[in-house]
C-alpha cells in the first residue's frame, strides 16, 4: 500500500526542512544580535534574512552593516602616528582656546575623533566648483615640499586632467605628490589610468596614486560601504582645502556653465591645516601601506619656525600675523564608535538660540537628527532646510520628502534649490557657528563613510556663510505646508523611507 507512505515521507521532508530553517534563523538572529546594532535595524535585518533566506542574504551582502577590521586599521593609524618629536610638537603647537560658549562642544569633538581646537589666519569660502578649482591650482603652483590630495570622485575629464597636469608639473620640480582616491567614486580614473596621459605623466614624474578600499570581496562580500567621501587637499602643511567639491566637470561652471552643480568648499591657511594633514596621513598609510616622511627639509605639519612662517608671504619674508580664527577639524568614519560629525551636528543644533540654516544635497535624517531639528523649531528657533529640487537619485529624494510633513508641522521651513543640482553641505547656527564639509545629512555619511568637516567659530566668516545661503534662497522654491500628493507619490515616499539607513 503505497498511499500511507507518501504522506509520511512528505511530513518527514517538511519537518526536516522546517528544522533546517529554524536552526538557520536562530543562528542568524544570534549573529546579528551580537553585532549590537540599533534595535529597530537589528529586528529588521533578522526578519528580512529569516523570511527571504536567499534574496535576503544577497541584499545583506551589498547593503548590510560592514565594519573595517578595526585592529588592522588601528595598526595603520599607529604607524601613521610615528612622527618625529619635532613634527609632533608642531602638530600640537599653537592650539587655540575655543570661546567660552563652545568649550564643551570643542571638547566633545576632540573626545570623539582626537582632533583639538586649533586656528587659522584665513578661512575663505569658495562658492562654486570653478572657484575652488582656481584656488586649488594656485595653491598647487605655489607648493614647494608636498601636495596631498584625497577625493571621493576624481574623474579623468577636462577638469581632472587640468589638475593632473598641474600636479605633474610640480612633481617634475621635486615636489612630493600623493593622490588618494576612492576605488568606487573614482573608478573611471583608475580604470582608465593606462589611457589617461595626464595621470601617466604624473606617475612618471614621481607622483604616487593609492586606492581607498578597492572594490574587491572582503570576507566574501564587496565593500560597497566604507568609502572615503572626503575631499581634502594639503599643500606644504600650510594651505588646506575641505568641503563638498569633487574633481569633475559636473561641478565646474567653466566647463558645464549653468548646468554645473552648486557646491561649497573652504580654503584654510594656518595651524588647523596640520590636522587636515594628520587625517590625510592616516588614510594614506591605511590605503597605501606607506608612511610619508619629511620632504625637502620641511616638516609634514608646518614650518619649523611656527606661526610666523605660516603667515609668511610667497617670498619667504615673515609677515605680520593676522587675527586668528578658531577652527576645529572634525573627522568621522566606521573605524571608530565616536560618530564625531553626527554628534557635533546634534550638539550644535542644541546650542541654537536664534537660527539653524542647514544645506545638504541628501537629506535622510536619523532619529537623533530629526528629533534635534524638530525640537529646535518647536522651541522657537528659526530652522531653514535647503535641499535640491531635482536630486541625482530619485529614491533618495523620495526618502527625503517623506520627512517634510513632520518637519513642517514642527515649524521647519523647507526650500528646494531649482537652478541646478545642489551639492553644498553647510550648517549655520546663530551668528557664530559654521560647519563646511563633505558629510551629507544622512546615515551613510554619519556612520558608513569616512567624512571630514571644518567647524569655524567666527562671526565675520559666518556672516559670509549666511550671505551665501541667502543668495541660494533666491534660487529656491519653498515647499508648501500642505503638499498635494497622489497615492503613488505617497507610496513611493513611504517605501523609500524604509531604505533610509542605507541611502
Point out the residues that are catalytic: 229, 231, 236, 423, 425, 430
Burial class (CB in 10 A: 0-12, 13-18, 19+), 134: middle
CB 442 within 8 A of CB 364: yes
Tracing cell 587625517 back to the chain, one arrives at 279
3-state helix, strand, coil in the chain (%, to 5): 45, 20, 35
Handedness of CA 188, 189, 192, 198 (dihedral sign): positive
Q: Rounded distance, CA 389 to CA 473, Å?
A: 12
Q: Rounded distance, CA 164 to CA 200, Å?
A: 9
What backbone phi and psi angles, to 5 degrees, belong to 223? -85, 75
Tracing cell 561652471 back to the chain, one arrives at 253
Distances in Å between the Cα of 279 and the Cα atoms of 57, 114, 276, 484, 490 are 35, 10, 5, 46, 42
CB 459 within 8 A of CB 432: yes
- CA dihedral angle for residue 245, residue 250, residue 252, residue 257, rounded to 10 degrees: -140
| The C-alpha cell that represents 453 in the structure block | 568637516
What would the 3-class secondary structure string for 210-271 be?
EEECCCCECCCCECCCCCECCCEEEECCCEEEEECCCECHHHCHHHHHHHCCECCEEEEECC
CB 479 within 8 A of CB 403: no
Handedness of CA 477, 479, 483, 488 (dihedral sign): positive
Q: Rounded distance, CA 166 to CA 235, Å?
A: 13
Sheet order of strands, 208-212 included: 122-126, 265-269, 239-243, 232-235, 146-151, 176-182, 208-212
- Among the listed residues 215, 212, 347, the one whose alpha carbon sits nearest the alpha carbon of residue 285: 212
Q: Are strands 382-388 and 413-417 parallel, antiparallel or unpaired?
A: parallel
- Among the listed residues 439, 464, 411, 230, the one whose alpha carbon sits nearest the alpha carbon of residue 346: 439
DSSP symbol at 445: I
Say whether 179 sits in a helix, a strand or coil: strand
Amino acid at each position: 500500500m503505497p498511499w500511507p507512505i507518501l504522506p509520511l515521507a512528505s511530513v518527514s521532508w517538511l519537518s526536516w526542512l522546517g528544522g533546517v530553517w529554524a536552526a538557520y534563523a536562530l543562528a542568524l538572529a544570534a549573529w546579528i544580535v551580537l553585532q549590537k546594532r540599533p534595535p529597530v535595524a537589528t529586528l529588521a535585518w533578522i526578519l528580512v534574512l529569516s523570511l527571504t533566506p536567499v534574496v535576503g542574504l544577497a541584499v545583506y551582502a551589498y547593503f548590510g552593516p560592514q565594519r573595517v577590521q578595526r585592529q588592522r586599521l588601528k595598526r595603520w593609524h599607529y604607524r601613521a602616528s610615528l612622527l618625529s618629536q619635532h613634527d609632533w610638537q608642531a602638530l600640537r603647537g599653537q592650539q587655540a582656546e575655543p570661546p567660552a560658549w563652545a568649550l564643551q562642544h570643542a571638547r566633545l569633538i576632540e573626545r570623539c575623533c582626537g582632533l583639538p581646537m586649533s586656528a587659522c589666519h584665513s578661512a575663505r569660502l569658495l562658492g562654486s566648483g570653478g572657484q575652488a578649482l582656481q584656488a586649488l591650482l594656485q595653491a598647487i603652483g605655489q607648493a614647494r615640499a608636498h601636495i596631498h590630495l584625497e577625493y571621493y570622485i576624481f574623474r579623468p575629464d577636462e577638469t581632472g586632467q587640468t589638475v593632473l597636469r598641474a600636479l605633474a608639473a610640480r612633481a617634475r620640480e621635486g615636489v612630493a605628490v600623493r593622490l588618494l582616491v576612492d576605488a568606487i567614486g573614482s573608478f573611471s580614473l583608475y580604470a582608465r589610468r593606462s589611457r589617461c596621459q595626464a595621470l601617466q605623466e604624473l606617475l612618471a614624474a614621481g607622483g604616487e596614486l593609492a586606492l581607498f578600499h578597492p572594490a574587491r570581496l572582503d570576507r566574501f562580500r564587496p565593500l560597497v560601504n566604507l568609502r572615503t567621501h572626503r575631499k581634502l587637499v594639503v599643500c606644504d602643511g600650510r594651505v588646506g582645502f575641505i568641503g563638498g567639491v569633487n574633481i569633475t566637470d559636473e561641478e565646474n561652471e567653466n566647463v558645464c556653465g549653468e548646468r554645473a552643480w552648486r557646491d561649497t568648499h573652504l580654503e584654510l591657511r594656518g595651524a588647523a591645516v596640520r590636522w587636515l594633514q594628520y587625517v590625510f596621513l592616516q588614510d594614506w598609510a591605511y590605503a597605501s601601506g606607506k608612511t610619508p616622511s619629511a620632504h625637502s627639509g620641511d616638516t609634514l605639519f608646518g614650518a619649523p619656525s611656527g606661526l610666523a612662517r605660516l603667515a609668511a608671504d610667497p617670498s619667504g619674508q615673515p609677515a605680520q600675523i593676522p587675527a586668528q580664527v578658531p577652527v576645529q577639524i572634525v573627522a568621522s568614519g566606521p573605524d571608530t564608535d565616536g560618530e564625531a560629525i553626527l554628534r557635533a551636528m546634534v550638539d550644535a543644533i542644541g546650542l541654537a538660540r536664534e537660527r539653524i540654516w542647514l544645506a545638504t544635497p541628501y537629506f535622510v535624517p536619523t532619529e537623533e537628527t530629526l528629533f534635534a531639528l524638530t525640537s529646535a523649531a518647536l522651541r522657537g528657533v528659526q530652522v531653514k532646510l535647503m535641499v535640491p529640487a531635482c536630486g541625482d537619485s530619485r529614491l533618495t529624494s523620495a526618502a527625503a520628502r517623506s520627512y517634510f510633513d513632520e518637519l513642517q508641522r514642527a515649524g521647519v521651513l523647507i526650500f528646494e534649490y531649482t537652478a541646478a543640482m545642489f551639492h553644498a553641505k553647510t550648517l549655520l547656527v546663530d551668528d557664530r557657528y559654521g560647519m563646511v564639509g563633505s558629510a551629507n545629512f544622512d546615515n551613510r555619511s554619519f556612520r558608513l563613510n569616512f567624512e571630514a568637516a571644518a567647524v569655524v567659530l567666527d562671526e565675520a566668516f559666518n556672516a559670509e556663510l549666511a550671505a551665501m545661503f541667502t543668495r541660494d534662497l533666491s534660487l529656491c522654491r519653498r515647499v508648501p505646508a500642505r503638499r498635494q500628493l497622489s497615492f503613488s507619490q505617497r507610496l513611493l515616499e513611504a517605501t523609500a523611507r524604509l531604505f533610509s539607513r542605507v541611502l
